Structure 1
Amino acid sequence: MPPMAGFDIMSTMDPYFSSQFTFVRQPLEYHLYTQPRPESLEHKYFITDSIREELQKRSETIRTAPPAGLNLPEEIQEYHSLVPLEPLAGERHKFGNWYSAVYRATNSRDGATYVLRRVENFRLMQQSAFSTIEAWSRIRHPNIVSVREAFTTRAFGDSSLVVVYDYHPNAQTLFEAHIKARAPVMQNGRLQAQQNRILERTLWSYIIQIGNAIKAVHDAGMAVSIIDATKVLVTGKNRVRLGSCGLVDVLCYETRAESMLLQQEDLGMFGRLILALACNNVTAMNNFPKAIETLARHYSADLKTVVLFLMSKPSPNKTIGHLFELIGSRLLTEMDEMQNAVDRLEGELMSELENARLVRLLCKFGFINERPEFAREPRWSETGDKYIIKLFRDYVFHQVDEHGNPVVNLSHVLTCLNKLDAGADERIMLISRDEQNCLVVSYKEIKSCIDSAFR
């Protein structure tokens, strides 16, 4: 997704369009359906709360409905359900010399969600300018927001250029994540300004990822042409991607310089970005000696060496490949962290591995118990296999304590379902609701009853 200056994608739509809503939108209660959770089974059947909440928030963001009264086109090419990702009123954002707006939209062909960056009042002089977008669309890199296509349209009432990118919900720009001023917090009875100083380990991770993306672009014979804190997205924990790629190539198609010169400019912009992050100031380059002094005071000499290399004058030896020669040992640390992250995610995935098996069992219960088409036959669940299944359902889900209050114990439910699925020989006592009937059966026998009734 292409980023934009001063825009907080993490926020909901309400702050920007509150005057057009007649209700206050409340955040989802992400814990509502899972608490309380049995501690003994916490790491066996459920992913951690932080990952689950993050994924659910992304899902919620993707499905946010557009506010009313914006008079947006119902469909552009194959894209519909446009939702603005930045305010359309008040101070407008500019991309170069043009006003720009960003929308989330759904593609009617594949049903996926994308981002449309629209450049207003742009007249395309040469159709061949789209050849640069075709070149960008062939680049698939983990640290680049993928470019899909570009087209011109008059659906907004003017001649607009639209570039389509992949959508990364709840992403932030580096400016928003690390440089943008934050509201002071109360500490020891006083308001204290929040420190935005980025950790050096995080900064090295960003440098390696962005440098890797730049190398992929340069190896393809192109240049990024726009690398700053408002155009690089943070799409996950310490995960960054270059955004707005390809747009400059179309806007400045007729005045583009040689590729070699543009690649040297990329390295200079990269150095200025690192300096801005290290100094928490996008205008750090206005006083270069002071910025270098600040960087040297808070970070290692290796980081200072990298910035000075990137900010040096263009030369044949100044390439993105030479940058990686300077930071070779840091690459090993980043690779270790990446592999650890993969291990953690695989561990989380393993925790959900058995859920489908238990859901299938629950579905069988739902299919068998109290069939509506047998409502005229009151003994459907009172005879044979169905009666045992009904009593087992009550044993698992409808137990009460000594005061008659429902017992909600997820550990008990999961334990019983696992023993049932395994067909354990363990016997349990099933008692009817009126306490007039009592059966002693094994999980193996109950499993046989369920299979028979289901068939």
Structure 2
Amino acid sequence: MATSRFTPAERGRQMASPRPKTRDSKDTLCRNILIYGKCRYENQGCAFNHDQNKADSFENSMKKSLNVDSPAFTPAQLQSGTKKFTFSSQTVNATPFTPKGGAQDGDVSGGGVFNPAAIREFTPQVPQNYDLHATGTTNGVTPEASGSVHDPFFAMSSMAQTLPAAQYNPYAEDQNHLAAAGGSYYTSQTGYTAPMQPLQYHLYAPTGPYKQDLTPYQRQPHDFFLREDIREELHKKADATRQVLPNSQLPTVSNHYHSLVPLDTPRSGANFFGNYVSWVYKATSKKNGHTYCLRRLQGLRLNNVESVRGIQSWKRISNGNVVSVIECFTSRDFSDNSLVFIHNYHPLSKTLAEHHFNTAQGSRYTRQFSVPESILWSYICQICNALKAIHAEKLAARCIDASKVILTDKNRVRLGGCAILDVLDYESTQPLVDMQQEDFIQLGRLILSIGTNTPALGSPQTVIPQSALEQFGRTYSVELRERVIWLLSRPSPQETAQKNILELACGLSSHFVDCFDTSLHAQDEVNSNLMRELENGRIARLVMKLGTINERPEFDNDPSWSENGERYQLKLFRDYVFHQVDSSGHPVLDLGHMISSLNKLDAGIDERIHLASRDNQTVFVVSYKELKKMVANCFNELAKPHGKQASRGF
């Protein structure tokens, strides 16, 4: 057993490790001299040296004893142990080590000697301008080395040959195929791997036009979602499209159109088409599930079956101001002989008679204000556009009436009921030119009746009094009055030239420009609303995935499946996004935080977040990239027993 170096008495007196006795304490400079400049115990028994000059001379003597001229170190033989270690004669007679660092300043013999003084301090060069076409060095790369006179990061000359052919999917988990296809380009040019830039997780980019009259609490939802008035209108149209009648007694027409809903009621001749009673329904097709407008002419028997084939020419017309014709057939499903026409359905549309005239019987209210002139010019331009497409197919509209022209959107009109009179008057011998001339007269009557608030002027049987034109001229400009008179005039027998649609279009050229500008503004507004709703589908799919994972009662005979492993971290993430509270314990309903967090999760960025349990006993620090993989793994685990069809649509 090893013995102690100190006696028990010495161990009791020992307060610290003994210092090696390399020098006497009288030669050691007192620390009080170094710190305070004097020692208060100098004359009271302090054992250290208080003369600083004497201490410096001792230090110099010690330095002289340790120089490069000292004899070589020769270790003695180790005394402990049974095995004796010996050194070879070559090792013992080796030349003493002489460090080259001891050379004088400026003596740098030998090219490999490290000389700190010879190294020039790095000074970054501040660029004077940002000209992309400058011929100087950019980022340490000369234009000659990059093969272009422009910045090498903006040189696109050879990019087309090296970029990967596969399309980049920013939301795909595996991008190895893209990196392999374009690895040579990314490695040689920029040193990065695909993708070239990080994915922008916040993809909600509100674009103009902007609405300024919003209160602060409305601005955030407005930037992300549709305006409430537009949302309400679209919901009403969707509700009208899916509307059904409970316990309806209406039949299924031709075993094809079902769920009929009447769209009009009997109103003083408005439900008459020609000499036949007309009924309009909304119907759903069994073939494709789409909704159509079904117009039924009651009690009509066709004498010539070939007349139904006359709608083939109308099917070729595709115009934004004409309600498209789908098909025509006869039916006895209404317990009589009926002729049925199928048109495209525009929900919540109403006729110009319903919009501009109060058609309710016994009503005491009438229109007090005249229709703005810009709206009348818009009606003329839109119907002119419809007539141009119809006349180009060697057809005539013959249905320009306030009860047949429908308003489908703000100031957006369409000709409804087309092709019906062509089937009814299939054997008529009236020339096509005369029927096209009647289209101009009907258009003039329509504008005059709306401008003077006189529904009867739209009927062909009514004679237009001179007082109506005078009243119209007092309200509107001379140009509009002259255009209406031109539409109402009939060519005299001496005149051989007939009115044509191109002549009307040329006279409306300036107003066509106004309508075109209005349509561009409407398109900008639609695109702005679409940009707000663009990424909502991504968030909806992600929320549905989280909903199938979080708080699941049981899976694969494991009641605590949703509380273990990755599912528990996703539960904490759910609380982090939706269940935050303030210092008072009140819910924090920060819509921006929710959208931003879900976008980051869907993009899988590297940002880390702090997830804590509700009792603050469990804490995780994870990144959105890791959470995205957790969502994919857990959802695939749920979908695996049911096959690939279970995850269809995600």
- When normalised by structure 2's length, the TM-score is 0.59
Give the corresponding residue for 1:275. Answer: 448
When residues 256 and 48 of structure 1 are mapped into structure 2, their CA distance, relative to the original with a 3 A threshold, is farther
Question: Which of 536, 540, 547 is the matching residue for 1:355?
Answer: 536
When residues 257 and 77 of structure 1 are mapped into structure 2, their CA distance, relative to the original with a 3 A threshold, is farther
Question: Which of 332, 337, 353 is the matching residue for 1:154?
Answer: 332
Task: Kindly indicate whether the alpha-carbon contact (under 8 Å) linking 1:420 and 1:447 is maintained by their aligned counterparts in 2.
Answer: yes
Give the corresponding residue for 2:271. Answer: 93
Task: Kindly indicate whether the alpha-carbon contact (under 8 Å) linking 1:92 and 1:99 is maintained by their aligned counterparts in 2.
Answer: no
**Percent identical:** 45
Q: Residues 389-439 of structure 1: CA distance to partner in whole angstroms, max 9, x if unpaired?
A: 111111111223455444433222112212333444444332212333233
Q: Residues 339-386 of structure 1: CA distance to partner in whole angstroms, max 9, x if unpaired?
A: 221222112111111112222321331232233443853543333322
Q: Indicate yes or no: 2:394 matched with 1:221.
A: yes
Task: Kindly indicate whether the alpha-carbon contact (under 8 Å) linking 2:332 and 2:338 is maintained by their aligned counterparts in 1.
Answer: yes
Unmatched segments (≥5 aa) in structure 1: 1-35, 184-190
Q: Indicate yes or no: 2:476 matched with 1:295.
A: no
Instruction: Find the aligned partners of 1:433 and 1:66 in 2 and give their Cα distance.
Output: 50
When residues 322 and 124 of structure 1 are mapped into structure 2, their CA distance, relative to the original with a 3 A threshold, is same
Question: Which of 487, 491, 499 is the matching residue for 1:310?
Answer: 487
Task: Kindly indicate whether the alpha-carbon contact (under 8 Å) linking 1:98 and 1:121 is maintained by their aligned counterparts in 2.
Answer: yes
TM-fit CA distance, 1:118? 1.0
Task: Kindly indicate whether the alpha-carbon contact (under 8 Å) linking 1:182 and 1:193 is maintained by their aligned counterparts in 2.
Answer: no
Give the corresponding residue for 1:13. Answer: none
Give the corresponding residue for 1:5. Answer: none
Instruction: Find the aligned partners of 2:382 and 2:464 in 1 and give their Cα distance.
Output: 27
Name which of structure 1's ranges 247-256 and 88-97 shifts more when overlaid on structure 2: 88-97
Q: Indicate yes or no: 2:224 matched with 1:51.
A: no
Instruction: Find the aligned partners of 2:586 and 2:556 in 1 and give their Cα distance.
Output: 29
- The correspondence of residues 30-179 of structure 1 with structure 2, limited to 5 A, is 39-68=218-247, 71-87=249-265, 93-179=271-357
Q: Residues 183-203 of structure 1: CA distance to partner in whole angstroms, max 9, x if unpaired?
A: 9xxxxxxx9965352211111
When residues 256 and 452 of structure 1 are mapped into structure 2, their CA distance, relative to the original with a 3 A threshold, is same
TM-fit CA distance, 1:327? 1.5
Task: Kindly indicate whether the alpha-carbon contact (under 8 Å) linking 2:367 and 2:453 is maintained by their aligned counterparts in 1.
Answer: no
Task: Kindly indicate whether the alpha-carbon contact (under 8 Å) linking 1:105 and 1:115 is maintained by their aligned counterparts in 2.
Answer: yes
Task: Kindly indicate whether the alpha-carbon contact (under 8 Å) linking 1:123 and 1:160 is maintained by their aligned counterparts in 2.
Answer: yes
3-state secondary structure, aligned to 2:439? helix
Task: Kindly indicate whether the alpha-carbon contact (under 8 Å) linking 2:323 and 2:415 is maintained by their aligned counterparts in 1.
Answer: yes
3-state secondary structure, aligned to 1:221? coil
Give the corresponding residue for 2:376. Answer: 203
Name which of structure 1's ranges 196-205 and 441-450 shifts more when overlaid on structure 2: 441-450
Unmatched segments (≥5 aa) in structure 2: 1-214, 637-650
- When normalised by structure 1's length, the TM-score is 0.83
TM-fit CA distance, 1:288? 2.9
Task: Kindly indicate whether the alpha-carbon contact (under 8 Å) linking 1:182 and 1:194 is maintained by their aligned counterparts in 2.
Answer: no
When residues 72 and 361 of structure 1 are mapped into structure 2, their CA distance, relative to the original with a 3 A threshold, is closer
Higher relative contact order (CA 8 A, sep 6+): 1
3-state secondary structure, aligned to 1:253? coil
Task: Report the structure, 1 or 2, having the larger strand content.
Answer: 1
The aligned amino acid for 2:439 is D
Bigger Rg, structure 1 or 2:
2
Question: Which of 334, 338, 351 is the matching residue for 2:515?
Answer: 334
Instruction: Find the aligned partners of 1:122 and 1:193 in 2 and give their Cα distance.
Output: 36
Q: Indicate yes or no: 2:424 matched with 1:239.
A: no
Instruction: Find the aligned partners of 1:282 and 1:327 in 2 and give their Cα distance.
Output: 25
TM-fit CA distance, 1:251? 1.8
Instruction: Find the aligned partners of 2:295 and 2:433 in 1 and give their Cα distance.
Output: 27
Task: Kindly indicate whether the alpha-carbon contact (under 8 Å) linking 1:214 and 1:224 is maintained by their aligned counterparts in 2.
Answer: yes
TM-fit CA distance, 1:87? 3.0
The aligned amino acid for 2:481 is K
Instruction: Find the aligned partners of 1:297 and 1:381 in 2 and give their Cα distance.
Output: 77
When residues 445 and 173 of structure 1 are mapped into structure 2, their CA distance, relative to the original with a 3 A threshold, is same
Question: Which of 578, 586, 591 is the matching residue for 1:410?
Answer: 591
Instruction: Find the aligned partners of 2:630 and 2:217 in 1 and give their Cα distance.
Output: 29
When residues 274 and 88 of structure 1 are mapped into structure 2, their CA distance, relative to the original with a 3 A threshold, is closer
Instruction: Find the aligned partners of 1:411 and 1:157 in 2 and give their Cα distance.
Output: 60
Task: Kindly indicate whether the alpha-carbon contact (under 8 Å) linking 1:178 and 1:197 is maintained by their aligned counterparts in 2.
Answer: no
Give the corresponding residue for 1:266. Answer: 439
Instruction: Find the aligned partners of 1:448 and 1:351 in 2 and give their Cα distance.
Output: 27
TM-fit CA distance, 1:162? 0.9
Instruction: Find the aligned partners of 2:334 and 2:466 in 1 and give their Cα distance.
Output: 47
3-state secondary structure, aligned to 1:374? coil
Instruction: Find the aligned partners of 2:369 and 2:419 in 1 and give their Cα distance.
Output: 31
TM-fit CA distance, 1:236? 0.8
Give the corresponding residue for 1:434. Answer: 615
TM-fit CA distance, 1:256? 4.4
Name which of structure 1's ranges 255-264 and 195-204 shifts more when overlaid on structure 2: 195-204
Give the corresponding residue for 1:31. Answer: none
Instruction: Find the aligned partners of 1:269 and 1:207 in 2 and give their Cα distance.
Output: 11
TM-fit CA distance, 1:174? 0.7
Instruction: Find the aligned partners of 2:472 and 2:360 in 1 and give their Cα distance.
Output: 21
Task: Kindly indicate whether the alpha-carbon contact (under 8 Å) linking 1:430 and 1:440 is maintained by their aligned counterparts in 2.
Answer: yes
3-state secondary structure, aligned to 1:302? helix
Name which of structure 1's ranges 222-231 and 41-50 shifts more when overlaid on structure 2: 41-50
Instruction: Find the aligned partners of 1:75 and 1:151 in 2 and give their Cα distance.
Output: 10
Instruction: Find the aligned partners of 1:159 and 1:193 in 2 and give their Cα distance.
Output: 39
Instruction: Find the aligned partners of 1:182 and 1:347 in 2 and give their Cα distance.
Output: 39
Instruction: Find the aligned partners of 1:91 and 1:272 in 2 and give their Cα distance.
Output: 17
The aligned amino acid for 1:130 is V
The aligned amino acid for 1:348 is N
Instruction: Find the aligned partners of 2:298 and 2:216 in 1 and give their Cα distance.
Output: 51
3-state secondary structure, aligned to 1:143? coil
Task: Kindly indicate whether the alpha-carbon contact (under 8 Å) linking 2:358 and 2:365 is maintained by their aligned counterparts in 1.
Answer: no
Task: Kindly indicate whether the alpha-carbon contact (under 8 Å) linking 1:196 and 1:280 is maintained by their aligned counterparts in 2.
Answer: no
When residues 37 and 80 of structure 1 are mapped into structure 2, their CA distance, relative to the original with a 3 A threshold, is farther
Give the corresponding residue for 1:14. Answer: none
Instruction: Find the aligned partners of 1:117 and 1:282 in 2 and give their Cα distance.
Output: 23
Instruction: Find the aligned partners of 2:463 and 2:584 in 1 and give their Cα distance.
Output: 74
